[in-house]
Structure 1
Amino acid sequence: MRSTLLASLAGYTGAALSASVLLSGGTIIAFDEDTNFLNVIRDGALLVTDDRIAGIYEEASPKGIPVDAEIVDCTHKIITPGFIDTHRHGWQTAFKTLGSNTTLAEYFMTFSSYAAGPLYTAEDVYESQLAGLLEALNAGVTTTLDHAHNMWSTERAEAGLDASIESGARVFWAPALDPTYDYSVPDQINDWKRWNRRSFPNDLVTLGIAYDGWDVGAPEDTQAVAQLIKDAKPAVLTIHWLGGVWPIDSSPSLVHSFGVLNTSTAVVFSHGPGLTAAQAELLRATNQFISITPESEMHYGHGHTFSHLVHEQAALGVDTHLTFSTDIITQARLWLQRTRSRLFDEVMHHWDIPSRNPSWCPSYFSPPGACSQLGTSLSVNQAFLLATRQGALALRRPDLGVIKVGAKADLVIFDGRTPGMLGWADPVAAVILHANVGDITHVLVDGKFVKRNGKLTYAKYAELVERFLASAEKIRKDFLKKPLPVLTGSFFGAEGYAFYGSAKDVDVVRGKGTGYGPLFRGADDKTTANVAAPGSRHDEL
C-alpha cells in the first residue's frame, strides 16, 4: 500500500507557515512524473504554501500540516491545475458581440490591430485588457500568452502591460513588434528594452515578443527583431502562422532561417493551418509548439488540415475572445470532438462503421500507463493535458499546468454537485465534457485566491465594470460609423492565386429565408439592428 503522504516539499525555500492553505477532501487530478500521465486521488488533500504546491495527500486530514494553515473544505469537489491559454488578444474585450459572423478576411479589415488602432486610447486599452484577463480568471484560465498587438504608441502599449500586472493573472505579455502609424519598429524595440529592465511587483508577468513580419515585414525590421531575440533571450516568442490557402507564411522553416527557432526562447506558432510533414518534424526537432485555437479557427475559416497530427507539439488557445468563449475547457471540448469527427469521417468514407473512438484511452479506473500518450487523436485525458500541461511545455514552464509537489499553486476547484456535474465518476471526463464556468468555485494563482466561492476577489471589480462599459460604448459607436468591408477579387492584392470565395448560406426559416439577419449591436436598435453582418446577404435584410 502506498504511503499516505504521496509527496511533500520538506525544506521548500520560502515556505512561510503563516501562508499555507489546505484544500481538504477533494478529488485531485494530479500528474505522475513516473508514468508521465494523470493520477486521480480521491478524498485527498493538497497543501499550498506560499506560491507552491507543498504536499499532496491520500487522505482529507493529513498529519503534519502547519497549525495555522487555512482549511478549505473541498468535499465533493474536483481540483485541477489552472488552464493555460497559449494565444489571446486581451485588449479586444471592448468589441464583444460585434464579430459574431465575421470571417478571418473580414476580421483583418474590422477588428485587427491595424483596423482598431484609431478607436482606442490608452485608457481604453487598460480597461479592456484588465476586464478580459479577469474574465479569463473567472473561467479558470490562470496563465495567458498574450499576443499584444495593441502597439499603436508607447502609452497605449504600456497600458496593456500595466493592466496585465494589475489583473493578478499569470501573463506572458508579448508586445507585437510591428510598425503602426507613427510608432516604428526601432522605437518599439527601444521601448521593449526599457520594459525588459523594468522591475515588476510580482513574478506573474513575463515579457515576451510577438512578431509576424518574417515574410512580409521590412527586411531591416525583421533582422533587428531577430537580433533582439538572440541578444535578449526573451522567455517566449509568439507568431501568427497561417499558410495553406493564406498568402501569409511565418512558418517554422522560415523563422528557423533567421536563427531564432533552436534557442532557449520558447516559440509558439498560432493556428498553423498550412502545417506540412516537414514543418511538423522541425517543430519536433526544435521542441517548439503550435497553439490550436479550435473555436476561432472554426469561426473565422482558418482551416484545420493537419493540426491533429502534431498533438505532442501542440497546446490550446482562445484567440479573439470578443467573438466567442473565453475558457479553455470549451476549446478542449471542441477540439476533442472536432478531431474525433474528422477521423470518424475517414472511416465512414470507406463505407465502414467506426468500431471505437480513435486512439481510445482507458478512463480513470485503468492502471497508469495503460493508454497511449498524446497521439493522432484524442481521449478526454489527452484533451485535459492539451488544456493544461501541454500549454506549460509550450512555454517551457514545467512548473505550470500540473499538480505535483513543487509546481506553482495555480489551481481550479470545480463544484461536483452542480446540476451539470451531478453524478460524475470520472473527474477528467466531468471537467472536459460536462463542466462550465459556472461550476468553478475557486481559482488560485500563485497560491492566492483570485476567485473564491464563485466570485472574483478583485476588490475594484465594480468600479472597473463601470469604466469598461463606458469605454466599450464609446468604441462601439465609433466602430459602427465605419462601413463594413465588401471583399471581392483577391486577398490583399495576392493576384492570381488567393481569391475570395463564398460559403453556402444555410437558413432555418422556410421559403426565401432570412440570411444572417441583423446584428443587434447596441441599446438603440433603431440605429443598429439593421446593420448587416459582414458577409451577410444585404438584399434580404
Structure 2
Amino acid sequence: MAKYLLKGGTVATFVQATNKPRAHKADVLIEGDTIVRIEKNIDDEPGVEVIDCKGRWITPGFVDTHKTVQGTITPEEVAIGQLAGCLDALNNGTTTMLDHFHAAHTPAHAEASLKATIESGARVVWAPDHLSSNTQLFPTLEFAKDTETLQWQRAKLTEWGANGGRLSPDGRVLLGLAYDRLGNGKEHVVPHEELLAEARAIPAQTITAHIHSAEQVLLWRDPGLLGPDVLFSHCCGLAGHTPLDEEAWRALKDSGAAIGATPEDEIGMALGHGLVVFDAVERGVKVGIGADTASINGGDMFTAMRFVLQDARHKEQHRIRAAKEALPFKYKYNSVDAFRLATLGGAEALGLANIIGTVEVGKKADLLIFDANSVNLAGADDPFSGIVFLAASEDIKFVLVAGEVVKKNHKLVREWAPVARELQKRAEDIRQRWPAEVLEGAWKKWYDANMN
C-alpha cells in the first residue's frame, strides 16, 4: 500500500460540515487511496514517500459534472478518443467526471470506451446514453432498429451492473446512465419507468439527461422519475423566471435532483436564456460545473470557473444599473463560490461528497498540488482567488487520484506522445471519411429540419 506525506504546504479546501472555505498550513498523510491525517509537522516514517509542498497549495481535485469525452465512430476511434479525453482532464486537474457517453452504437463501441476509461486512471461516472438521439444525425450512426438496440443495451446494463455498478476493482469507475429519450417525441418500446427502475436497481450512481426547459423537468416529475440520483445538464431555459420555471425549480429542490452546468459552451452555443448556476445555488438546488465537449471548447475547469463567476457579476451589474442603484463595494459572488462549484459542489451533484470534493480525513486522496511559485501564481497570496483567476494546467505539479500519482512534476505519468500519435491518426481517418463540406451539408440539413 503506497504511502505519501505531503509536507509543508497550504491546504485550500471547503470544509464539508461547515460549508466554509479554509486555507491553512498543514501536512497531509495518505495511506493507500485515503487521507488519514491532516496536521502540522507530521513526522516522516519508514516506507512513506515525502512530497515537498513548501510554496505549494494542496486542493481537492476538480469535479466535472458534464463531460462528453468523445463521440467518434468506430470502436478504435472511441477508444483513443476516450483515453485522450480522460488524460486531458487529468492534466488539467479534473480528477472526477460524469461522462455522458453518446457513442454506444454497438457493444464493441461501449466496451472500447469503458476499457479506455479504466485504463486512464481517472475517477469517472461512466454513463452510456440509452439510444441517444444525438447518434441519429448521420446515416452511419443511425439505429436501424430501436428494439434490437435496446435489447443489447439492457443486457449490457445488467452485465455492467453485476458488481453493484463498480466498473473497476477499486470503484474508481462507476456505472451511470444517460437518458435523453424522455420527451424527444419518439415512440418507446419500453416504458421510461421500467428502464430507469432497472438502472436504479443496480444501482447506477447517476442518471443524467440534457434538459433545456421547465417543461422537460416536469416530464420527469409527473411520472415520479426525479430523485437525488438525477443530474440534468444545462437547464438554461430555467433562467426565464416564469411561473412554470419556478415550478420546475421547486421540483428539482424537492426531489434532490442536481444540475451540471457547462458555462463556456452554454454561452457559446446560446443554450436558452443564460446560465442558471447561481439561480440553483440561491434556491438550494445541488449544482456543479463542467467543461462539456473538448472538441468545441477547452476541457479545463479553470475556464468554467471564470466564465460562471464573471457571468454572475455581469448579471449583477446589469440589474443594478437597470434599477439605477449604486454599484456595491463588493460583488455578491467571488472566487470561493466558483471554487466550491468545481470541487464540493460537483461532488454533491454526483452523490459522491462522502468520498471526494474536499481535503479532509477519511476522504479519497483525489488531490492537486499547485506550484504557488510559478509565473502565474507567484504574486497571489490567496489560493482560492489564485486558482480561479490566475491558474492554468501548467501550474499543477502533482495530480493524485485515489492516492495514485497520475501527474508528477508537471507531466502526466502516462506517456502522452504515443497517445497523441494514435489520436492524430484516427482523427485524420475521420476527416477523410467525413470531409468538412459533407459535415457542413449534413448539419445544415438537420438545422433546416429542426430549427426553422
TM-score by length of 1: 0.74
One-letter code of the match for 2:429?
K
The residue aligned with 2:56 is 77
The residue aligned with 1:238 is 208
Q: Distance in 2 between matches of 1:295 and 1:144?
A: 17
* Greater Cα shift, 302-311 or 471-480: 302-311
The residue aligned with 1:122 is 75
* Residue 26, structure 1, aligned to residue 5, structure 2: no
Contact 2:70 / 2:293 at 8 angstroms: preserved in 1?
no
Gaps of at least 5 residues in structure 2 are 133-141, 239-244
Q: Distance in 1 between matches of 2:106 and 2:443?
A: 29
2:189 counterpart SS class? helix
Show the 5 A alignment for 1:97-112. none
The residue aligned with 2:23 is 40
Which of 250, 258, 261 aligns to 2:216? It is 250
* Residue 340, structure 1, aligned to residue 295, structure 2: no
1:240 to 1:218, Cα distance in 2 relative to 1, 3 A = same
| Offset, 1:307 | 4.0
2:158 counterpart SS class? helix
The residue aligned with 2:103 is 150
Q: Distance in 2 between matches of 1:21 and 1:488?
A: 54
**Which one has a bigger Cα radius of gyration?**
1
Which of 186, 189, 195 aligns to 2:160? It is 195
Q: Would you tell me which structure has more helix in proportion to its own residues? A: 2
* Residue 62, structure 1, aligned to residue 72, structure 2: no
Contact 2:265 / 2:292 at 8 angstroms: preserved in 1?
yes
Q: Distance in 1 between matches of 2:31 and 2:202?
A: 33
* Greater Cα shift, 31-40 or 381-390: 31-40
Contact 1:149 / 1:175 at 8 angstroms: preserved in 2?
yes
Q: Distance in 1 between matches of 2:191 and 2:375?
A: 53
Which of 136, 154, 175 aligns to 1:207? It is 175
One-letter code of the match for 1:161?
L
1:189 to 1:490, Cα distance in 2 relative to 1, 3 A = closer
Q: Distance in 1 between matches of 2:74 and 2:445?
A: 34
Show the 5 A alignment for 1:248-397. 250-251=216-217, 253-262=218-227, 266-275=229-238, 276-303=245-272, 304=274, 306-311=276-281, 312=284, 313-359=286-332, 378-397=333-352
1:194 counterpart SS class? helix
Q: Distance in 2 between matches of 1:205 and 1:492?
A: 40
Q: Deviation string for 1:411-462 (max 9, x for gaps)? A: 0111111111112111110101110111111000000100000110114x33
Q: Distance in 2 between matches of 1:66 and 1:221?
A: 58
One-letter code of the match for 1:140?
G
Q: Distance in 2 between matches of 1:306 and 1:382?
A: 14
Which of 396, 416, 421 aligns to 2:372? It is 416
Q: Distance in 2 between matches of 1:52 and 1:178?
A: 37
| Offset, 1:257 | 2.7
Q: Distance in 1 between matches of 2:126 and 2:419?
A: 21
Q: Distance in 2 between matches of 1:328 and 1:453?
A: 20
Which of 469, 483, 506 aligns to 2:424? It is 469
1:442 to 1:307, Cα distance in 2 relative to 1, 3 A = closer
Q: Deviation string for 1:50-77 (max 9, x for gaps)? A: 10111111x3x323x5332111001111
Contact 1:137 / 1:169 at 8 angstroms: preserved in 2?
yes
The residue aligned with 2:70 is 91
Determine what percentage of the aligned residue pairs are the same residue.
31
Gaps of at least 5 residues in structure 1 are 1-15, 93-115, 360-377, 500-541
Q: Distance in 1 between matches of 2:448 and 2:119?
A: 38
Q: Distance in 2 between matches of 1:317 and 1:26?
A: 27
1:188 to 1:323, Cα distance in 2 relative to 1, 3 A = same
1:474 to 1:486, Cα distance in 2 relative to 1, 3 A = closer
Q: Deviation string for 1:269-304 (max 9, x for gaps)? A: 000012221111221111111111000101111131
1:483 to 1:332, Cα distance in 2 relative to 1, 3 A = closer
Q: Distance in 2 between matches of 1:305 and 1:322?
A: 21
Q: Distance in 1 between matches of 2:442 and 2:322?
A: 37
Q: Distance in 2 between matches of 1:385 and 1:415?
A: 20
Q: Deviation string for 1:3-35 (max 9, x for gaps)? A: xxxxxxxxxxxxx5xx21011111111333442
Contact 1:273 / 1:307 at 8 angstroms: preserved in 2?
no
Q: Distance in 2 between matches of 1:401 and 1:45?
A: 18
| Offset, 1:492 | 6.8
Contact 2:161 / 2:203 at 8 angstroms: preserved in 1?
no
Q: Distance in 2 between matches of 1:184 and 1:153?
A: 8
The residue aligned with 1:9 is none
One-letter code of the match for 1:319?
D
| Offset, 1:400 | 0.7
One-letter code of the match for 1:412?
L
2:10 counterpart SS class? strand
1:307 to 1:83, Cα distance in 2 relative to 1, 3 A = closer
| Offset, 1:351 | 3.2
Contact 1:30 / 1:41 at 8 angstroms: preserved in 2?
no
1:470 to 1:136, Cα distance in 2 relative to 1, 3 A = same
1:417 counterpart SS class? coil
